[in-house]
Structures are given as C-alpha cells and as structure tokens.
Amino acid sequence: MKKTSNRLADGREIIYYDLSATAETAVRTAADKRPLPPIGTASEIRHDPLLDDWVGVTAHRNARTYHPPADECPLCPSREGRMSEIPEADYDVAVFENRFPSFRGAPGEELHDGSPLFARRPGAGRCEVVSFTSDHDASFADLTEEQARLVLDAWTDRTAELSQLPGVEQVFCFENRGEEIGVTLSHPHGQIYAYPFTTPRTERMLRSVAAHGERPGGDNLFDDLVAAELAVGDRVVLDGEHWTAFVPYAAHWPYEVHLYPKPRVPDLLALGEEARAEFPRIYLELLRRFDRIFGEDQPRTPYIAAWHQAPFPKGARSRAERLAAREEFALHLELFTIRRAPGKLKFLAGSESGMNVFINDVPPEAAAQRLREVAST
C-alpha cells in the first residue's frame, strides 16, 4: 500500500491509498483548482441530562450536497472542465475531510446556557469521507479481494491517526448504502467519524460487559456470546478460520449480521495479519448474499455496515476505567438492512423511535437460514 497526502483548495486534507507505487501514483500532486473559500464551519455538542448523552448541533450541514446527477458526482475523479472533490484523474481509495462535517476542530471548555443543566462544548473531532473506488457504478460488493483489503488498511490507518487527535475518544468507520437509508451520494463510499466522546451505544455495551464479568462464572461477555452462538449454531451464517458471522439472537433489524474476528481484539489496530488476509473473502461474501436476499429483481439491498471499536477514553476516567474500556471490548462489524421484504421497508415508528424498543418482523433464525440459502456457489 502507498499512502500520499495532499490538500484541497479550501485547506482540507485528502489522502490517497494506492495498491502499489507506480509512475502514476508515485506523486499525487494534482491541484484542486476550484475557487473554494476556507472551511469556517464549527459544530457544537449539547448534553441531554435525562439520557446522559451528547447531541451534535450542526446548522451548516443543511447546505450539503444532495443527490447530484452522475456527471456531477463529487467523488468521481476530476476531468477537464469538471473538478470534483478528488483532483486526480484516477485513484484506488481516497479519503478526505468532509466539507460539511458533524465534528471538526479542537476541544474547548464546557459552557452553560442559563442553567447547569444546559451544558455545551465545541463539537471537536473530525469527519472524513472514504471513496472505495473511482468506479461510480460499482458497489463494495463489486470490489476484488485486493481492493477490499486496501479499504481495510485505509480504515486501520485512519483509526490510528484520528485516535491521536486532541479530544477524540472514539473512531467510527461505517458505510451507508441506498437511498432508503438516506444516502445522498450514489458513488460507493463510506465515512469515518472521530467523536469527542464515547458514544452511547458503546457506553451501554461496556456497562453490560462489566456487569457480566461480576456475575458468578462470568467471563468476557463478547467471548461468551460468540461461543454461545457457535454452540447453538442455527444463527451462524459463516464460520471462517479467523472470522465468525451470525445473526444475533435478539436481532433488531430484519436481516442483521454481526462479524467478529478470532480471537477477540479491541480495534482494527490490533487485528492480526491472518484475520486481515481472510477478511476480504468473508466480508465480500456477506455483502453479495445481502444483495441476493430479495431476489434478482431487487439487487443492491440498502444497508448500513458499522465497525464497533473500543474507545480511546480520555477526560475524567480513571486509568483502570480506561484500560477496561479497551481491554474488554471486542472489535466487530454490524451489517443490517432496513428492507424486511421485497418492496417493504422496516420503519422506525412509535415503539422504536419513541421508546427505543425494536419490533422485528423476521425471526433471526429465519434470517440466518435465508442468508445461508443465498450463498455463492
């Protein structure tokens, strides 16, 4: 892998990840000739005292790009007469700072608006766009294993760098695919969020892990959960030498798969070479099965693919709490779709949105059986 960094016209960083160092990739110096003003936007986070979590407030994101025509795609390579976000004429994987970030900048002091209950801070951190390929009409499932490995290496490299930024506590690599999910750009891409806090979902997992470890005979909850799924077996979708994929017993979504490496590691940085080498085959097979769930007339199933990594906790936590948050966590990927049947979507209605109680119309065992049925031949 060859990594090259450059700057866009407004000062944002763009990083190229190339499969090999060739004459074309040896120097990535194509200039961004667009007349862009410097990025001056900033977000803030506000604390919700009832739920004890943070909400980003980002008015500037209302102006972000929305469903541009294919010939105006900002993620395609630039060409004569039409400059995109990527100045080069071609690329393998490109990562750049989001022009409309949810989090950006350095941390600052906590302020209060009229009451100690109304706390806010700068929305410190960074948001990046990851373009998986220069091919506008492809999807992640269309990548070769070599290309998929390059994306994995890019995710890992970005996690390493973003975790070192002041104030950043968690790095989240994810992909949203499909207009049904809310994607506004059809070019195959994902995003990376560097949060200035540990996310509520991760905090909840860590509390469950701690509670499980205190029970008689309790070990690591992630390890016990994966072992239990393998022992029961009827929700296992794929079981490779270094990865296990299964539909969870209490799946929230119609078709939902969790992918865990063997053995447990806290994040992408700790993933061993053998697991890295096997990942492309396992993950591409899962994505291709997702595209076959609902038949040939409904390919390209909309989905969210989300990497859950251990946080890099800072702030007021004790050293023991920081170590536990990392050592006990298990890196895993959660892949799910909101499509529940051909032509039908799973909407987050009253129970889910109002009370965070999910109602799943597809039994997890049936979902796992369907994902086994559509395996590649």
What is the set of active-site residues? 189
Task: Outline where DSSP puts E strands in 58-209.
Answer: 93-97, 111-112, 119-122, 126-131, 170-177, 189-195
Task: For residue 138, give the nearest of 197, 188, 84, 179 by alpha carbon.
Answer: 188
Report the distance separating Cα 65 and Cα 216, nearest Å: 53
SS3 331: coil
Q: Do 192 and 173 meet the contact criterion of CB atoms below 8 Å apart?
A: yes
Q: Do 175 and 192 meet the contact criterion of CB atoms below 8 Å apart?
A: no
Q: Are strands 303-308 and 344-345 parallel, antiparallel or unpaired?
A: unpaired
Q: Which token pair is 365?
A: 């065992």
Phi, psi angle pair for 133, to nearest 5°:
-160, 160
Task: Outline where DSSP puts E strands in 196-277.
Answer: 236-239, 243-246, 255-261
Cα angle value 307/341/175 (rounded, 5°): 20
Facing residues of 93 across strands? 17
Q: Give, as one character, the DSSP assignment of residue 71.
A: G
Q: Do 130 and 93 meet the contact criterion of CB atoms below 8 Å apart?
A: yes
